[in-house]
Chains A and B, each alone.
Chain A
Amino acid sequence: MVDITTELSGLKLDNPVIPASGTFGYGQEFSKIYDINILGSIAVKGTTKNARFGNEQPRIAECTSGMINSVGLQNPGIERVISEELPELQKIFHKPVIANISGFSVEEYVYCAEKINNVPNVGIIEINVSCPNVHGGGMAFGSDPQRVAEVTRAVKEVTRKPVYIKLTPNVTDIAEIAVSAENAGADGISLINTMLGMRIDIKTRRPVIANKMGGFSGPAIFPVALRMVYQVHKAVKIPVIGMGGISCAEDVIEMMMAGASAVQIGAANLVDPFICPKIIHDLPEVCERIGIHKLSGIIGTID
């Protein structure tokens, strides 16, 4: 018997497989096609203080082994997420979930974290720092170590739940940002969010997506994500959730060897809605084949 359990800040997971924020909604659609309780946890769609419609159409562009999305954080706002979406999810998913929060100012992150703090089925708060900072000249929070520390500290003050900072890969030194979050009190690091990308329709001579640029994800970004997880794991002592392009059990093991305590599956859910159960099913078999008896024993074992 292979032990595929893992742990995040005291939270025991049956397995390391967690659908990534924005690719699983609030679980309702997936619960109709498989038993979602087999999942390690679920990272729900990013929530902002106010409801957001998001960006204009088109929002999706295909790439070689990946996709670009510019959904633009469409969500019903924190109040409705707390009063409707999370309670509804609790009825069908009986484990702690990861609540993903976005904001355009420190106050907005704090506002949402404070509200989420009282939601019983939230096990971890994941702070997405990829949004532009409207008070800081529009540069993403996540590309400035000082701003990341500021958000981390402010959020930690209003919640008892573990706080994971979800980093954007669109920076020169990812380890520096991670260390800054750790020093400010973060309980863990999630990475990577999407990479900034673009496609042009050569017939119309216009960008494919209305917003011109968007978030690139899928198998094409896996090597970059793996490299960053490796660098961050080396630089911090807190747990790391690894994601970016994972699409099979082998990818999960590779990501964990690089330093991830658990993983998130994003775009893969969209092209194969049954990918998470498949990966969970395959994990013990693949572990066995390569002589792993305890999956968590391989975390960050690469020099």
Chain B
Amino acid sequence: MREIKFEVAENKKIARDIYRMTLIGDTSDITAPGQFVNIKLPYQYLRRPVSVCDYADGELTLIYKTVGAGTKFMSELSKGSNLLALTGLGNGYDIADAKNPVIIGGGVGVPPLYGLAKKLLEHNIKPSVILGFNSIEDCFYGNEFKALGFDVKIATMDGSYGTKGLVTDFIESCEYAYVCGPVPMLKAVYEKVQDGQFSFEARMACGFGVCMGCSIRTKNGFKRICADGPVLKYSEILWENS
């Protein structure tokens, strides 16, 4: 873990309340898709954890939703502004045991799955992709996944885009799923798949494993979402925390 000073190269609205920020800076501590960075903002005491959407040498992409003062501030940063972030946080997705996986994302849980999809592709694994959003205004990145050659299915709650309904409506039989999204979605997907990896959120203070603020129970004892997660294996998840 290091603190890196990034420079904003692009900060663009891509859907309702959703922004994509491209940052220039040292990404060498980022080792897996599904990890996150913890962003220092001038007017907020705690840092803001945001998943790595995509990363390359010297370039980092984040996608975030404006929900409060911190993310609102981020959305107003212009090209050339600096942003301090702790990088290389969390375990990220493990692509080693992917047999015949499906990628399933909901809302602002979609971003880390894009980086994962690219990584899987590098290993000649081409999962199908299922994305869920509330409404057409909230949809993003369907085309980016398609551009990589993935078969993409999109569900919206109100039917304004893709198929009306939930991501789980697309799941018939699924051996292995990579999942990120709101907890009710994670839980619904968990019920329908045999195995997989699920990314969780928690209110964090440190983000690097020392405060126990994000600790949850699992079948293998307690785990810190920030340091032992945010990605948990199917076999260890206990839902009593949420």
Q: Mark A residues whose CB is within 8 Å of B.
A: 22-25, 29-30, 32-33, 45, 53-54, 56-67, 69, 71, 74, 208-209, 218-219, 267, 269-274
Contacts and interface: CB of A to CB of B under 8 A. Distances in A.
Given A53-B215, A71-B212, A62 B45 contact: yes
Interface stretch (B93-101, B102-110, B156-164, B200-208): B200-208
Contacts of A63: 45
B210 A25 contact: yes
Contact of A61 (B203, B209, B215): B203
12 contacts: A23-B206, A29-B209, A53-B222, A59-B213, A60-B204, A62-B44, A62-B45, A69-B213, A74-B222, A267-B205, A271-B46, A273-B86
- The SS class assigned to the B binding surface is loop
Contacts of A267: 205
A62 B1 contact: no
Contacts of A45: 212
A32 B203 contact: no
Contacts of B202: 57-58
A273 B212 contact: no
Given A57-B203, A60-B203, A33 B40 contact: no
B212 A54 contact: yes
Given A57-B216, A74-B222, A67 B1 contact: no
A62 B43 CA distance: 12
Nearest to B209: A29
Given A33-B1, A54-B215, A273-B86, A60 B208 contact: no
Interface in B114-163: none
Nearest to B206: A270
A219 B2 CA distance: 24
Nearest to A70: B213
Contacts of B45: 62-67, 218-219, 271
A32 B47 CA distance: 20
Contacts of B214: 57, 59-60
B37 to A, nearest CB: 14
B3 interface: yes
Contacts of A208: 203
Contacts of A32: 1
Contacts of B208: 29, 273
Chain A interface, >50% SS class:
loop
Interface of B: 1-3, 40, 44-47, 86, 202-206, 208-217, 222, 227, 241-242
Contacts of A274: 3
List the 7 shortest-distance A-B pairs measured between CB atoms, nearest first.
A270-B206, A60-B203, A60-B213, A25-B210, A58-B203, A74-B212, A270-B205
Contacts of A30: 210
A111 to B, nearest CB: 22
B224 to A, nearest CB: 10
A65 B44 CA distance: 7
Given A23-B206, A53-B217, A218-B45, 16 more contacts: A25-B209, A29-B208, A33-B2, A57-B241, A60-B203, A60-B204, A60-B211, A61-B203, A64-B45, A67-B205, A69-B205, A69-B211, A74-B212, A219-B45, A267-B205, A271-B45
Given A63-B45, A273-B206, A23 B211 contact: yes
A23 B1 contact: no
Contact of A273 (B1, B46, B241): B1
A19 B213 CA distance: 17
A74 B208 CA distance: 16
Contact of A62 (B46, B215, B216, B217): B46
A273 B206 CA distance: 8
A71 B40 contact: no
Contacts of A64: 45
Contacts of B242: 57
A218 B3 CA distance: 21
Nearest to B47: A271
A45 B209 CA distance: 13
Contacts of A62: 44-46
B124 to A, nearest CB: 34
Nearest to B44: A62
Given A57-B202, A61-B203, A62-B46, A71 B1 contact: no
Contacts of A53: 215, 217, 222
Contacts of B203: 57-61, 208-209
